[in-house]
Amino acid sequence: MDDAAILKKRGYVLGINLGEGSYAKVKSAYSDRLKFNVAVKIINKKKAPRDFLERFLPREIEILAKVNHRAIVKTYEIFETSDGKVYIVMELGVQGDLLEFIKSRGAISEDVARKMFHQLSSAIKYCHDLDVVHRDLKCENLLLDKDFNIKLSDFGFSRRLTRDENGKPILSKTFCGSAAYAAPEVLQGIPYEPKIYDIWSLGVILFIMVCGSMPYDDSNIGKMLKIQKEHRVHFPKSKSLTVECKDLIYRMLQPDVARRLHIEEVFNHMWMQAPKPRVPLATSPVKEGECSRNLREFKSDKTLPACFDGGLALQRQTSLRIVTPYQALEWHLVGTSFLPPLSVLGAPLLRFAPSV
């Protein structure tokens, strides 16, 4: 039975193809039960790599069972067929992702950026309070709903934070994510505190939002790392950013992990406390094309090799190619929900209560 027939039996009318990789694809669909369009991720377990099935999949399932937040992409239903295909029905980012939004419309005003960044930070604080770390925060993983609200997606690199007998976080030795958003300690292969890694990525995202450009050029990892370690952050003069906005970005892009902000400090920063805009995001003024060439041409196709373990000084690498848990999969609607071999297969696994 093909995908359309399988989904039809469960009340979905299959739509267009949104993306496809070596062992997974994403399609749009209309839900008769929900009465709106959804995204359906279809994974062929027979083609998926062993490391993905045994390592990343269990972590992701555990996290999906926990997270429930208005700024995180919802998972409505997960089921598996007898031929080894997993179907994940999730919230559709109808306005695309944040990177494409900025590429097409340009840098976002501080007032609008504050609202969107507050939504993202709220989702990260929610996760961090649960000791869940994302480890692949980037604009491509931030989907936009019909009202241009942020929806955090893709928990493929996420995991629960582990602690020692004294309650101190155990440093991670799995170096993963996208090079352009990766913290210097991760690029160097130094064991790192995952929550602090997430903060660096938040700094990169906010810079892109308000500047319409990348803070660092990842075409030369060694050069980029040198600039990062010297704590050099160049803000375009044409943007006329407030001192408070620059200060928050600068503190999040702090190479010294002992001095980098925690998520609570991000929330309490003076820039975050400014009055929120009353205008809807969809009608907020943005000017066409006001993004730099480096952002228009940017693709996060340089990532840390296969989410590798162990020390690897990436500054010695001249060419990096990210191989994510999804490997060649290059689509953005990746709401991060998969299914382990459980006896409940064939029935809905996850149904979320109202978001908090």
Indicate which residues carry an active-site annotation. 136
Which amino acid is present at 188?
Q
Structure tokens at 72: 């995180």
Structure tokens at 172: 């991670």
Task: Identify the helix (H) or strand (E) that includes residue 13.
Answer: strand 12-20
* Start-to-end C-alpha separation, the chain: 38
Contacts of 243 (CB under 8 A, 6+ apart): none
Is 41 flagged in the annotation as binding? yes
C-alpha radius of gyration, the chain, whole number: 20
Contacts of 347 (CB under 8 A, 6+ apart): 79
Cβ atoms < 10 Å from Cβ of 94: 15
Q: Considering only the C-alpha atoms of the chain, give the largest distance between any 2 of them, rounded to a whole number of Å.
A: 59
Structure tokens at 228: 């990062």
**In a 3-state reduction of DSSP, which class is residue 16?**
strand
Say how far apart CA 311 and CA 175 lie, in whole Å: 9
Say how far apart CA 170 and CA 190 lie, in whole Å: 13
Between the CA of residue 232 and those of 158, 163, 223, 227, 251, what are the distances in Å?
29, 33, 12, 6, 11
Say how far apart CA 344 and CA 346 lie, in whole Å: 6
What one-character DSSP code corresponds to residue 52?
Answer: I
Please enumerate, by residue number, every residue annotated as part of a binding site: 41
Please enumerate, by residue number, every residue annotated as part of a binding site for ATP: 41
